[in-house]
A and B are shown apart, each in its own frame.
Chain A
């Protein structure tokens, strides 16, 4: 079965503090993972893909196959990072999403 778990529905940190959004997955094949973000009143958009090993808006995510995790990290949070974040796993046919984490950055 393909499953994505984001254990935190809500996460609140102060501006300038490090942030980590947790994501764990369950998949028997070779996983392909993504983070999507939805800012207030905007459409859901791709933030980053594990396959490209990129850093977007200061965010990075490392695939850890041993722990079956793909946590999203940023060393210094900014107020504009406040949004809903979804971790997603590419299954055989479609993306399977986690429940999402609402990140709030306090000034």
Chain B
């Protein structure tokens, strides 16, 4: 596709429910990143996928959070047993190659998650 696509754009869920957020990166981009954007917290790194390598999960805040990337393309971020503090905008980004750092990342428009 022309850009990074995320769905849904908005999600309201009840506390304790599970949610799945989807990211479709730019075709051919081997690196994919998830960040969380919340008021006063800036952009918080969650997880990073690069090709067939093991993902860097060092930013996941708890074991309720997990992510996978199927076929080196689409990624799904899953939050189990959601809590109110999970409310934030979840951003996905992709880049062509980890080695070509000077191009920066292309971000999706995000999924705004609200836990009530």
- A interface residues, Cβ below 8 angstroms from B: 9, 32, 34, 36, 43-46, 49, 51-52, 86, 88, 90, 93-100
Instruction: For residue A5, give the distance in angstroms from its CB to the closest CB of chain B.
Output: 10
Known: A43-B110, A86-B43, A100-B43. A95 touches B102 (CB 8 A): no
| Chain A residue contacts of B16, Cβ below 8 A | none
Q: Classify chain B's interface size.
A: 20 to 34
Given contacts A43-B109, A44-B91, A94-B48, contact A32 B42 (CB under 8 A): no
Which chain B positions have C-beta within 8 A of A88?
43
Report the separation of the CA atoms of residues A90 and B98 in the bound assembly, to the nearest whole angstrom: 10
Among A49, A86, A93, A94, find the residue whose CB has the most chain B CB atoms closer than 10 A.
A94
User: Which chain B residues lie closer than 8 Å to A45 at the CB level?
Assistant: 107
Instruction: Tell me the smallest distance from the CB of A55 to a CB of chain B, in Å.
Output: 16
Binding site for A on B (CB under 8 A): 33, 35, 40-43, 45, 48, 50, 56, 91, 98, 101-102, 104-110
A to B contact number (C-beta, < 8 Å): 47
Residues of the A chain whose Cβ atoms lie less than 8 Å from the Cβ of B33: 94-95
A52: B residues at CB distance < 8 A: 102
Note all chain B residues with C-beta closer than 8 A to A34. 104
Extra contacts, 14 of them, besides A94-B56, A99-B40 (Cβ < 8 A), are: A9-B40, A34-B104, A43-B107, A43-B108, A43-B110, A44-B91, A45-B107, A46-B104, A49-B104, A52-B102, A93-B50, A94-B33, A96-B45, A98-B42
